[in-house]
């Protein structure tokens, strides 16, 4: 074992190591909380000055994670929020948690990872461990991150170490809301890198799952999300087929999941959202082409899920025609839920945004209600929607709309107000569970 590796392991074992987390979003913020609460000193780096100032003031910008934990850690010096990358010179472990989106042509965009690596390189010193958590294609850690870091003049595997450990955050999941409870898959560029990364995460994660190398760990993350994408696509396609047959897909799922083996329930919806499932499968299909392989199943699942918003709008138009003879082009539609999943404020890749655009392109007027995400944030893909604000959900308001479209079924929505609605089109089967039934309800 190299001297650098031995010294790093000693620092981790004695909890003298300083950890820097770059990117304090939905992945980085819960991670840095776990690091700081484990007794390590954590430097939180983000390029958004608003986030840094809020953390320094003891406030949280992510509603679902609470904020009571921030001030004590900041005051104790365990959590040091900053926008200054020069503080990386103090860090023994550096964890990268930045976005990995797709380009307009559905190709991986690693610009955030590359820019972050270039910011790390000038401050890299011997004995450092750099871990990438951002989801990406197999090979990124060694083919992209490692060469950029070596522009520092240091040699990976001798002077410093790199590893990959995929994030597995599930915002809004109360059962796994603590980072330490979620098993951590870890792959390194070499045995010493893997051992160092396992030692680091082992300080605050209950179960460590080491794999052969970084590429394997990168593949694990893609597999997990592709598994979900493919199964959601399957149930979305069955929803369309069974609806044509007059069969309720929701009853089918409830009955099927009573089988105690060989079945796992997935549920249909208006499309995919979030930072992983709509994006990650394309990372694999893009990389597969380098090996002259086409991932047809993966690509087909993406096509099916991407088609759901348009299918929902078509069914809404049909329901309006049947219920009141109101054409979609003259309708006023209330979209309930703008976040991509319930009980979080995350609107990234939310199908609700695409649904609003499709509705308005066909002449409808739209408003939305969301107690978790009261304002639509600015985005590149949906720039025209940025700044729109949530409207109240009450009987008087409901009466103004020709239809209510349920996209996200938050628990803190006043679902009883839907009793006054002329038409409810439900993509989550929430209205029926709340006792609403009859011809005014259309389940999708």
Report residue 431 as tokens: 């209205």
Mark 73-88 as b/e (b = at least 16 C-beta within 10 Å): bbeeebbbbbeebebb
Helix boundaries (H) for 94-171:
111-120, 140, 146-149
Does residue 304 contact residue 271 with C-beta atoms inside 8 Å? Answer: no
Residue 5 clears pLDDT 70, i.e. is over it: yes
Chain segment 279-297, per-residue pLDDT in tens: 878 888 888 888 888 888 8
Residue found by looking up tokens 């394309």 in the block:
282
Residue 38 clears pLDDT 90, i.e. is over it: yes
Give me the DSSP letters along 3-40. Answer: HHHHHHHHHHHTT--EEEEE--STTHHHHHHHHHHTT-
Rounded-to-5 percentages of helix, strand, coil across the chain:
45, 15, 40
Does residue 35 contact residue 42 with C-beta atoms inside 8 Å? Answer: yes
Question: CATH top-level class for 3-212?
Answer: alpha beta
Report residue 57 as tokens: 């003031």
C-alpha 279/C-alpha 377 separation (Å) is 19
Chain segment 203-254, per-residue pLDDT in tens: 999 999 999 999 999 999 999 999 999 999 999 999 999 999 999 999 999 9
Residues near 219 by beta carbon (within 8 Å), at least 6 away in sequence: 138
Residue 349 clears pLDDT 70, i.e. is over it: yes
pTM: 0.90
Q: Same topology for domains 3-212 and 229-443, yes or no?
A: yes
Q: What are phi and psi for residue 89, nearest 5 degrees? A: -60, -20
User: Domain map of the chain by residue range?
Assistant: 3-212, 229-443
Looking at the DSSP bridge assignments, the partners of residue 80 are 43
Compute the C-alpha angle 219/223/228, nearest 5°.
Answer: 155
Burial of 24 (0-12, 13-18, 19+ CB in 10 A): buried
| Average pLDDT, integer, range 169-182 | 75
Q: Nearest CA to 373 among 414, 405, 343?
A: 343
Residue 178 clears pLDDT 70, i.e. is over it: no
Per-residue model confidence (pLDDT) at position 307: 95
Q: Do the bridges between strand 403-406 and strand 365-369 make them parallel or antiparallel, or are there none, so unpaired? A: unpaired
Residue with the larger pLDDT of the pair 152 and 179: 152
Beta strands in 225-339 (DSSP E): 332-336
Does residue 157 contact residue 189 with C-beta atoms inside 8 Å? Answer: yes
- Which H or E run includes 378? none
Chain segment 80-133, per-residue pLDDT in tens: 999 999 999 999 999 999 999 888 777 889 999 999 999 999 999 999 999 999
Per-residue model confidence (pLDDT) at position 238: 97
Query: Any idea which residues carry the catalytic annotation?
Result: 276
Residue found by looking up tokens 């038409």 in the block:
423
Residue 177 clears pLDDT 80, i.e. is over it: no
Residue 444 clears pLDDT 90, i.e. is over it: yes
Report residue 205 as tokens: 């994660």
- CATH of 229-443, picked from 3.30.43.10, 3.40.50.720, 1.10.10.60, 3.40.640.10, is 3.40.50.720
Residues near 12 by beta carbon (within 8 Å), at least 6 away in sequence: 92, 93, 196, 199, 200, 203
- Which H or E run includes 232? helix 214-244
Per-residue model confidence (pLDDT) at position 283: 83
Q: Strand, coil or helix: what is 244? A: helix
Looking at the DSSP bridge assignments, the partners of residue 209 are 185
Q: With the C-alpha atoms ordered 384, 387, 392, 397, is the resulting torsion angle positive or negative? A: negative
The whole-chain average pLDDT of the chain stands at: 92
Does residue 321 contact residue 359 with C-beta atoms inside 8 Å? Answer: no
C-alpha 333/C-alpha 347 separation (Å) is 19
């Amino acid at each position: 074992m190299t001297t650098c590796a031995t010294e790093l392991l000693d620092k981790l074992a004695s909890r003298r190591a300083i950890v820097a987390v770059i990117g304090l979003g939905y992945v980085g913020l819960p991670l840095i909380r776990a690091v700081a609460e484990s007794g390590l000193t954590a430097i939180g780096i983000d390029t958004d000055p608003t986030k840094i100032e809020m953390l320094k003031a003891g406030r949280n910008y992510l509603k679902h994670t609470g904020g009571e934990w921030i001030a004590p850690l900041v005051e104790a010096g365990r959590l040091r929020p900053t926008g200054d990358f020069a503080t990386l010179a103090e860090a023994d472990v550096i964890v990268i948690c930045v976005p990995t989106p797709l380009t307009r042509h559905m190709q991986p965009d690693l610009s955030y990872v590359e820019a972050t690596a270039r910011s790390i390189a000038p401050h890299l010193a011997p004995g450092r461990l750099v871990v990438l958590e951002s989801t990406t294609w197999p090979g990124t850690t060694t083919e992209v991150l490692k060469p950029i870091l070596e522009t520092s003049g240091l040699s990976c595997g001798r002077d410093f170490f790199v590893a990959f450990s995929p994030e597995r955050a599930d915002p809004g999941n109360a059962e796994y809301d603590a980072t330490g409870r979620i098993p951590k898959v870890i792959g390194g560029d070499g045995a010493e890198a893997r051992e160092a990364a396992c030692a680091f995460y082992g300080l605050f994660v209950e179960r460590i799952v080491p794999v052969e190398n970084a590429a394997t760990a990168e593949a694990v993350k893609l597999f997990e999300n592709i598994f979900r994408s493919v199964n959601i696509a399957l149930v979305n396609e069955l929803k369309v087929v069974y609806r044509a047959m007059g069969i309720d897909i929701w009853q089918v799922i409830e009955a099927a999941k009573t089988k105690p083996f060989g079945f796992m329930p997935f549920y249909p919806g208006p499309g995919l959202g979030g930072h992983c499932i709509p994006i990650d499968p394309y990372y694999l299909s893009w990389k597969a082409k380098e090996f002259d392989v086409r991932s047809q199943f993966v690509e087909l699942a993406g096509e099916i899920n991407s088609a759901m918003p348009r299918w929902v709008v078509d069914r809404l138009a049909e329901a309006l025609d049947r219920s009141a003879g109101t054409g979609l082009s003259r309708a006023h539609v209330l979209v309930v839920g703008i976040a991509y999943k319930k009980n979080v404020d995350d609107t990234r890749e939310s199908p609700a945004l695409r649904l609003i655009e499709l509705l308005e392109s066909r002449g409808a007027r739209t408003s939305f209600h969301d107690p978790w995400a009261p304002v639509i944030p600015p985005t590149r893909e949906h720039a025209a929607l940025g700044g729109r604000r949530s409207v109240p959900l009450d009987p008087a308001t409901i009466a103004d709309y020709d239809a209510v479209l349920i996209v996200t079924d938050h628990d803190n929505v006043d679902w009883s107000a839907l009793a006054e609605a002329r038409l409810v089109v439900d993509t989550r089967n929430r209205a029926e569970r709340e006792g609403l039934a009859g011809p005014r309800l259309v389940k999708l």
